[in-house]
Structure 1
Amino acid sequence: MMEYKARYITDDIKLSSYEDKFFKSDIMFDDHMLVWFLSGETKIVQSDATYFFKKGDIFLIPRNQLATIINYPKDGQPHKTVVMHLSVETLRSFYSNKNVKPKPLQSPKICSFSNHPLLESCLASLIPYFDMKDIPEDIASIKITEAISILRTLDKDIDDVLANFEEPGKINLVDYMERNFMFNLPMEKFGYLTGRSLTTFKRDFKKAFSTTPQRWLTQKRLELAHYQLTEKGKKPLDVCYEVGFENLSHFSFAFKKQFGIAPSQLAEQC
């Protein structure tokens, strides 16, 4: 059983700790997430980039972005982070009296602010509060406002990300799925991100691909896995999680059924 612990100041600020060997999840964040690493390592895989973060790193994951997140302990220390949610509601309130017109962004990137003293001192000042029973009222909103103000000082383009409150519009389904099939999300989420209800998503998918989403996704993930093993020389365990499977045994079974050889055997031959 994975040993996961989280301590909260409010729902928007938590101290997160994974003691296990590693933890993997495919995620679409509803809020922007500001993360400060205390220990451990994280690999974040997106459709067009892979990021590695470690102790001391600070980064912002924009909302509505798909990512596979793999958390590892490191040097005998658990994977431990301070996480601050910058919700649409909070940001609307922050920007309500500011004359900011964000430029539209197709797909905002993860922003890294590693080891920045201002941000680090803001986030480090939260640590004592996680052990307090009676937390001062408004401390979370004060700290979140401070963090947003610092981000705006460090990055002149950050308003384009933080002050953009649009929901995903209807976009080209084929293009989107071809870029994001390796993320293991509920169909409702894929529907939302392509600007569709679940019913419309399934109908449009059938029309575009002449099959069900689940069959198509499995096929695409297996094809990518075969490529990663044979052309990139990756290990079966890494490939399994990066292409969208939830565990190695299911991946191995599906791979052998498709290609007639287990991924571990194929890796040995390459």
Structure 2
Amino acid sequence: MEHVSKHLTPEIKLSCYEDKFFKSEIVFDQHMLVWFISGETKIVQAEATHRFQTGDIFLIPRNKPATIINYPKDGLPHKTVVMLLTTQILRDFYKHIDVKAKITAVPKIRSFTHHPLLESCLASLIPYFEMKEPFPDYLASLKLTEAISILRTLDPEVDSILANFDDPYKVDLIGFMEKNYMFNMPIEKFGYLTGRSLTTFKRDFKRAFNTTPQKWLTQKRLELAHFQIAERKLKPLEACYETGFENLSHFSFAFKKHFGYTPTDVFSKSFHV
């Protein structure tokens, strides 16, 4: 897989994937504003699955588990311009602004597809990626400020996401895990996102589920994969990547060990019922 990233600054980059697809399990530490030049992305979150392609612009909130699958399309690579709206940048932006929007505890992806103001802002960065000279810091600051200002103009509720600088607070463990078990994250990250230290998370998890996190996660992911293949007619490879497994061989081995038959057996049977 060939992946090329060109950075103007640590917060502004042009990302390009040339291969068939790229998948990752991600919890973004910072908000991301993404503009699609070409290709397609599927973003699987607990609440919904999103597809974005050429011309789409969207904001991914931080601290939200997601499975990201990037595809080239129509003979063109998966190519995006990405802005990281870091906590420090947003603190500097909001320090003189009286925010009136209600803070959202579980924000969703915001879409701003084909909006001319945002397209113009992000497209104006393209020529700078070809320059050999360093991108001036003051210009980067202006571009980031412009993007944030446009977002606030288009969506008055966006402050509820961008102006929230709190770490995740302690949430209901059972509810969170039932919604997010399909994301392949370290146990430490599950702890952080539920507002717990690793030790407290393991203790609370044992009390809630009477088993270890890893055993519970594996069983839940296999059960979901079985449903995806049998009922939704997903191919085994698709089910593998959408339920938190790293690769098809490990998924198939674990699936057969748990159910006694392979994902391919289920897929074949689902079309002969």
1:161-240 maps to which residues of 2 (within 5 A)?
161-240=161-240
Describe the SS at the equivalent of 2:66: strand
Say whether 1:113 aligns with 2:112: yes
Would the aligned equivalents of 1:26 and 1:183 in 2 still touch at CA under 8 Å? yes
Corresponding residue of 2:90: 91
Count of aligned pairs: 269
Describe the SS at the equivalent of 1:38: strand
Structure 2: gaps spanning 5 or more residues: none
Distance in 2 between the 1:90 and 1:262 partners? Answer: 49
Q: Deviation at 1:106?
A: 2.8
| Percent identity for Structure 1 against Structure 2 | 68
Q: Deviation at 1:133?
A: 2.4
Would the aligned equivalents of 1:67 and 1:183 in 2 still touch at CA under 8 Å? yes
Distance in 2 between the 1:42 and 1:12 partners? Answer: 20
Corresponding residue of 1:245: 245
Describe the SS at the equivalent of 2:157: coil
Distance in 2 between the 1:39 and 1:131 partners? Answer: 18
4+ residue runs over 6 A deviation:
none
1:54-69 maps to which residues of 2 (within 5 A)?
54-69=53-68
Q: Deviations over 1:135-178 (max 9, x none)?
A: 22311111000000100111111111111111111111111001
Would the aligned equivalents of 1:47 and 1:180 in 2 still touch at CA under 8 Å? yes
Compute the TM-score of the two structures, normalised by the length of structure 2.
0.97
Describe the SS at the equivalent of 1:7: strand
Distance in 1 between the 2:138 and 2:4 partners? Answer: 24
Compute the TM-score of the two structures, normalised by the length of structure 1.
0.98
Distance in 2 between the 1:44 and 1:184 partners? Answer: 14
Corresponding residue of 1:123: 122
Q: Deviations over 1:2-27 (max 9, x none)?
A: 21110000100000011111001111
Distance in 1 between the 2:192 and 2:101 partners? Answer: 22
Distance in 2 between the 1:124 and 1:169 partners? Answer: 37
Q: CA RMSD in A?
A: 0.9
Structure 1: gaps spanning 5 or more residues: none
Q: Deviation at 1:206?
A: 1.4
Say whether 1:42 aligns with 2:47: no
Corresponding residue of 2:11: 12
Q: Deviation at 1:237?
A: 0.9
Change (3 A) 1:102 1:166: farther
Describe the SS at the equivalent of 1:9: strand
Would the aligned equivalents of 1:102 and 1:164 in 2 still touch at CA under 8 Å? no
Q: Deviation at 1:130?
A: 1.2
Q: Deviation at 1:232?
A: 1.4
Would the aligned equivalents of 1:170 and 1:196 in 2 still touch at CA under 8 Å? yes
